[in-house]
Structure formats: C-alpha cells, structure tokens
Amino acid sequence: MQRFPCPFCGPRDETEFHFAAESGKTRPEPAGEVGAERWAEYLHLKKNPKGPTREIWVHTTCGEFFLMERDTLTHHVAGSSALGAES
C-alpha cells in the first residue's frame, strides 16, 4: 500500500485518496464554442505516462484536492502541494 503526502494532513495510506485528474487540464468553455474533438479530448483522453507524472488527487478524509508528483513506474512520490501554491 502506497503512502501519499496530503499537504494538509501529512502522510496517509493510499486508501484515503482518490485520483482526480492529470494536472494541467483546463475545461474548455464556453460550451457553444468548443468543438466536438476538443471536448472529447477533455472528457476521455489521458496521457497516462509511464514514469514521472503530475496529478491532482483528493484526500477524501479532509476533502482537499492537491497536486502530487509521483512516478507511475517506481511508485516514488516526489512531493505534493496545495493547489494554487505551486506557481
């Protein structure tokens, strides 16, 4: 079982977390100006990289979404930060 660092609560077992999204995805809008392919890409296409990745996760017990950098191959977790704080 992996251990993830919630930026607010500290390290916790992975069962307390849900994956939310790959980071860097922006919702295309307004709806009237978004083409079908662009919308389908937003809805369905994931990069799913092998190796280092930046993802949005939610710590279900505190309800906070945050950014996590981890490696999908080695399961090494490089770190996490509150959203909006990383820039």
Binding site for another protein (CB under 8 A): 1-3, 14, 20, 27-31, 34, 36, 39-40, 43, 58, 60, 63-65, 75, 77, 83
**Number of residues written out for the chain:** 87
Who's near 73: CB < 8 A, 6+ residues apart? 50, 51
Is residue 68 within 8 Å of 23, Cβ to Cβ?
no
Of residues 36 and 48, the one with the C-beta less far from another protein:
36
Cα–Cα distance, 20 to 83 (Å, whole number):
13
Q: Which of 5, 26, 29 is nearest to 17 (CA)?
A: 5
Rounded to a whole number of angstroms, the minimum distance from the CB of residue 36 to another protein is 6
Q: Which is nearer to another protein, 20 or 69 (CB)?
A: 20
Closer Cβ to another protein, 2 or 9, answer by number: 2
Q: How far is the CB of 84 from another protein (least distance, A)?
A: 9
Instruction: State the minimum distance, in angstroms, from the CB of residue 12 to another protein.
Output: 11
